[in-house]
Amino acid sequence: MPQHIKRLIGAFAVVIILFLVLQSFLRPTSFGKLGHYRADAIQENKMKALHFAGSDKCTKCHEEMKTDKEVGFHAQLQCEACHGPGLKHAMYADKFKDGELPDSLLLHKPGSRKECAVCHQLNAARVKIVFDTINNSMIKQIDPMKHNLVDKRNFAKLVCIECHNPHQP
Amino acid sequence: MNINKPNLSRRDFFKAGSIIVGGITVATALTPFDGLLFATEPPKGKGKWYGIGIDINKCIGCGNCAKACKLENNVPKDPFYFRSWVEQYTIKNDGSVLVESPNGGIDGFKQSVPDEEIFKSFFVPKMCNHCAKSPCVQVCPVGATFETPEGIVLVDENYCIGCRYCVQACPYGCRFINPEKGTAEKCTLCIHRLDKGMQPACFEMCPTEARIFGDLNDPGSKINYFLKNHTCMVIKPNLNTGSKLFYNALSPEVR
């Protein structure tokens, strides 16, 4: 074999060995376990913090709401859909007595025209087939700018929950 | 230095040439190149293989899914970062299509076209399709995005270099670069909730049960019941992405 070929083979061998040594140091251990990615990343994604607790946790303390809501049009609506994520509220609720929960842990009580209109505003796309299988009904729609508007100056004060019970509308 | 030049005759040249060309042809015929690239394949047997169903007929466009997603996953509040959002499609009488999504539908929709001009209008909730042949997974240069054995497309935040290649590759516009971290971000199907036996936030907060998810491998699952009883379509089937997000009552205008 000519000498320049031997040198070339030697050079290649050095580079390849150097690459393999460097790779063994730099490559994360779980890389390639399940595919061309770090298998540990699945676990890292699973470790992220929760924010929503689920209605089962809510009704542990607020039992009366469950029985209230069961028969109403909002039976299929989850508590946190209106009140916001409540895992922190649920976690700390046991440590405080009734009515002692600090303001930062209290959940939002919606009921303004703007908040209810998110679902109930009149919209051509919202005329839908029957989806509420429990009550066999379609969603009620109103124009929040006109609905039951006695006095225009009192618009902001006329909130939906004044007349409607949101848990049993 | 001596270099021996081989003295090839014309006959030798043709001989060697025909052996090489013929050999390649025979080898290709025996094992044809399998052109379809799968990021992952459905597990054979017992493993889970998640699929999603969305019923457009049931969606009332409340935007609860988009809102819940932002709150659960700490998605930036700016109105252009979404992992899950709702679009209102309005097809006018003259045939033109109007697509609106004010703040992803979180603050609700306002009908911008008068009733007389509307031919039909509907809401389309959108999210990651968790494709089996994901274009976004195939283009990642560092292996930072991948599909789990359960069929969920995830991003490895610690490995992502923020090259934005996957953002361009996704045909559904489901990825963005997190402005604080500088890495790609997308729907994880709330894998942190699935792990604890809970539903993903957007599915849990849907008031009309328009969103369904489940194990496609389990014949008795909700998603299989949904697929059996509805005529379902995926968005952009021509791209052969292996999308696992099935829409009932999907109009061809939706893109």
pLDDT of residue A151: 65
State whether A70 and A117 are in the same domain.
yes
Q: A35 vs B44, which has greater pLDDT? A: A35
| Residues in contact with B206: Cβ distance below 8 Å, sequence separation at least 6, in sequence order | B64, B65
Q: Phi and psi for B117 in degrees, rounded to 5?
A: -90, -10
Residue A132 pLDDT level (bands cut at 50, 70, 90)? low
| Domain with A116 in it | 55-162
pTM assigned to the model: 0.84
State whether A152 and A92 are in the same domain.
yes
State whether A63 and A141 are in the same domain.
yes
pLDDT of residue B9: 86
Share of chain B above pLDDT 90, in %: 71
Q: Phi and psi for B50 in degrees, rounded to 5?
A: -75, 140
| DSSP notation for B78-133 | STT--SEEEEEEEEETTS-EEEE-GGGGTT-----S-GGGEEEEEEEEEE----TT
State whether A117 and A86 are in the same domain.
yes
Report if residue A101 sits inside a domain: yes
Q: A48 vs A154, which has greater pLDDT? A: A48
State whether A76 and A123 are in the same domain.
yes
Average pLDDT over residues A11-15: 97
**Angle, CA of A68, A130 and B50, to the nearest 5°:** 85
Q: Which of B5, B62, B67, B88 to mutate to test binding with chain A, by most A CBs within 10 Å of its CB?
A: B62
**What's the structural domain count of chain A?**
2
Going across the sheet that includes B50-55, the strands are B211-215, B50-55, B245-248, B232-233
pLDDT of residue B45: 66
State whether A8 and A76 are in the same domain.
no
Report if residue A20 sits inside a domain: yes
Residues forming a β-bridge with B89: B99, B122
Q: What sign for the dihedral angle of Cα A117, A118, A122, A127? A: negative
Q: Do B111 and A125 touch (CB under 8 A)?
A: yes
Nearest C-alpha in A relative to B142: A37
* Weakest mean pLDDT among A53-67, B77-91, B120-134, B216-230: A53-67
Residue B46 pLDDT level (bands cut at 50, 70, 90)? confident
Chain A positions in Cβ-Cβ contact with residue B59 (cut-off 8 Å): 128
Domains along the sequence of chain B with CATH:
50-81+127-248 (3.30.70.20)
Determine the 3-state secondary structure of A117 from DSSP.
Answer: helix
Contact A117, A147 (CB under 8 A): no
Report if residue A154 sits inside a domain: yes
State whether A15 and A81 are in the same domain.
no
State whether A38 and A115 are in the same domain.
no
State whether A71 and A142 are in the same domain.
yes
Residues forming a β-bridge with B100: B88
Q: In whole angstroms, what is the distance from residue B115 CA to residue A24 CA? A: 66
| DSSP notation for A4-23 | HHHHHHHHHHHHHHHHHHHH
State whether A38 and A107 are in the same domain.
no
Contact B210, B227 (CB under 8 A): no
Q: In whole angstroms, what is the distance from residue B71 CA to residue A101 CA? A: 22
pLDDT of residue A5: 94
pLDDT of residue B71: 93
* Weakest mean pLDDT among A89-103, B6-20, B110-124: A89-103
Q: Position A99: which residue type? A: G
Q: Position B135: which residue type? A: P
pLDDT of residue A168: 82
Residue B241 near chain A (CB below 8 Å) = no
Count the neighbouring beta carbons within 10 Å of the beta carbon of residue B236: 13
pLDDT of residue B100: 92
Report if residue A27 sits inside a domain: yes
Q: Position B215: which residue type? A: D
Residue A114 pLDDT level (bands cut at 50, 70, 90)? confident
A contact residues 23-82, partner B, Cβ 8 Å cutoff: 28, 31, 34-38, 41-42, 44-52, 54, 74, 76-78, 80-81
Average pLDDT over residues B4-13: 81
Report if residue A84 sits inside a domain: yes
Report if residue A30 sits inside a domain: yes
State whether A126 and A154 are in the same domain.
yes
Q: In whole angstroms, what is the distance from residue A24 CA to residue A57 CA? A: 48
Residue B87 near chain A (CB below 8 Å) = no
Residue at token pair 């699935």: B194
Size of interface A-B (CB pairs under 8 A): 140
pLDDT of residue A92: 83
Determine the 3-state secondary structure of A142 from DSSP.
Answer: strand
Q: Do B111 and A119 touch (CB under 8 A)?
A: no
Residue B156 near chain A (CB below 8 Å) = yes
Contact B189, B151 (CB under 8 A): no
- Of B165, B172, B171, B175, which is closest to residue B143 (Cα–Cα)? B165
The per-residue pLDDT for range B161-202, each reduced to its tens digit, is 999 999 999 999 999 999 999 999 999 999 999 999 999 999
From residue B21, how far is each of B1, B8, B27 by CA, in Å?
Answer: 34, 18, 10
* Weakest mean pLDDT among A144-153, B54-63, B145-154, B216-225: A144-153
State whether A41 and A73 are in the same domain.
no
Give the mean pLDDT of chain A: 84
Report if residue A102 sits inside a domain: yes
